[in-house]
Structure formats: structure tokens, C-alpha cells
Amino acid sequence: MSAGRWSRRVLAVHTAFIYLFLWVPIGVLAVFSFNTGRQTAVWRGFTLDWYHRLLANEALLAAVRNSLLVAALTTLLATVIGTLAALALRRPETPGRGGTLALLLLPMVIPEVVLGAALLTLFGALGLRLSLTTVVIAHVVFSVSYVTLVVRARLAGLDPALEEAARDLGAGPFETFRRVTLPLIFPGVAASALLVFTLSIDDYVVTSFVAGVGSTTLPLHVYSMLRVGVTPEVNAVSTLLLAGTIVLIVAAQRLMRVSSSEGDRT
């Protein structure tokens, strides 16, 4: 057996073990969310009762509503701010582009605990009461970086001649952006919006610092349920949250792939 074939087989086995390590616990969690018994380690039979109970849990439904509201507002604000930042950083005449980009990307490299503590200190100094508003602000802070990166990458593949042609034909800056630039970068903008929505609805660490009374989100509620142990209800809500996250991530990846392929053509 050649060395190349042997190395490929070793790599395949190693990759398989990694996937098993990552996905087997998630699969067990999903399977036992349909278990009849309350014990999470012994299979008693199939049931959908735990999912039905979730629909009757008012505290859980309130947390879901809070999470969806926060994620929607965060997505809207972060997408607009991040897209505008990417457009500004694209212009050569923008002063301090390097420093501005470093500041925008800083929340991506700062540990979430440090970011959450810093935002909590800031809100306290400003006299802001912890609420859904502070949660949205905190989520926008760490989400803008992702939008800026994705949209900036899309803009890098955009042919400047297209915008120059539009201006030569008499279109103003706003008309050029609306009719030429925005349609071309829209897949990247949409992909970054889905990514932000996913990050926001899943965030626990930063949210735990800046959420106040009445602003409990779904991850916070799930963690509070875990304090009494892993129950079928926890498995059920975790499975639903995981399934929604996977759908959003796959959709974002497909949009980014479309954006990349269209960028190659332009």
C-alpha cells in the first residue's frame, strides 16, 4: 500500500471519529426527547408528549418570543450597520480604514465573558436598566463584525466598472447603489443576516450579563431548566433549538456559496 493511500485512510478514520465525537451526543439528546420515561438514560418507548408540554409552558413560550424579538431587531440593526461599514471601508478615501476595521473585528476575538462584563459595566455607567433593549445592543455589538466581514468579501469581488458605467449613464450615488451595488451584494447581505440571526438566538454568555428581569431568552431559560437536571423537556427544547440552528446555518452557507459564485462571474 502506497504512503499516499495509507495517509488518506488514516485521515478518513480520524475524520469519522471527530464526527462521531461531535454528533453522537447530539443524536442521543434528540432520540431521548421522544422517550416515554423521564429517565434520560433508559429507553421506555416513543412519545410526543414532551413536545406537547412545551407548547403549554408559558415561561418557555415567553422566552421564545423574547429570543425571536431580540434576534429580529439584532439582525435588522447589525445588517444595516455592518453593510454600511463594509461600503465605507471599501472606499480608498475613508480615513483610518485599518484602525476602523480592527475595531469592528475586535468583538470577534475578545472572549465573550470579557465582552459581557464590559457591556454590563458600560450600561451601569450610563444608567441603563437591564432589559431587552440592552440585550439587543449587546448582540448588535458582537454581530456587526460578522456582517462587515461577509459583505466586505462580497464587495471585494465586485467589478468597479459596473458602478462606473451606471454613473456614466447619469445615475446618482444612491441610484447606483440601489440598482447596481445592492442587487449584486444582496446574497452576501442575506447570508450575513441569517448568520447574525443564528448567533443572536443561540447566545448565552453575553446575554446572561445584560439581561434583566422579564428579558429571559431561550438559552437562558434552557440553562435554568438544566439546574434541576437533564429532563425530557430539556431534550425536546434543545432538539428544536438545534434543528432551527442547523437550518439557518445551512441556508446561510448556501447563500454565501451563491454570493461567492456570482462574485467569480462578475
Closest CA to 119 of 211, 181, 57: 211
Q: Tell me the whole-structure pTM to 2 decimals.
A: 0.80
127-152: average pLDDT: 93
Determine what percent of the chain falls in helix, strand and coil, rounding each to the nearest 5: 80, 0, 20
Q: How far apart are CA 160 and CA 158, in angstroms?
A: 6
- Residue 169 in this model has a pLDDT that exceeds 80: no
pLDDT of residue 34: 83
Average pLDDT score, the chain? 83
Provide the 3-class DSSP secondary structure of residue 226. helix
* Per-residue confidence band for 94, with pLDDT thresholds at 50, 70 and 90: low
Q: How far apart are CA 72 and CA 64, in angstroms?
A: 12
Given this model, what pLDDT does residue 139 score? Answer: 96
Q: Give yes or no for residue 103 having a pLDDT over 90.
A: no
CA distance 220 to 204: 6
User: Which of 19-23, 74-78, 191-195, 240-244 holds the top average pLDDT?
Assistant: 74-78
pLDDT of residue 260: 58
Q: What domains are defined for the chain?
A: 57-265 (1.10.3720.10)
- Residue 135 pLDDT > 70: yes
* Contact of 219 with 207, CB cutoff 8 Å: yes
Strand partners, 35: 46
Confidence at residue 29, expressed as pLDDT on a 0 to 100 scale: 79
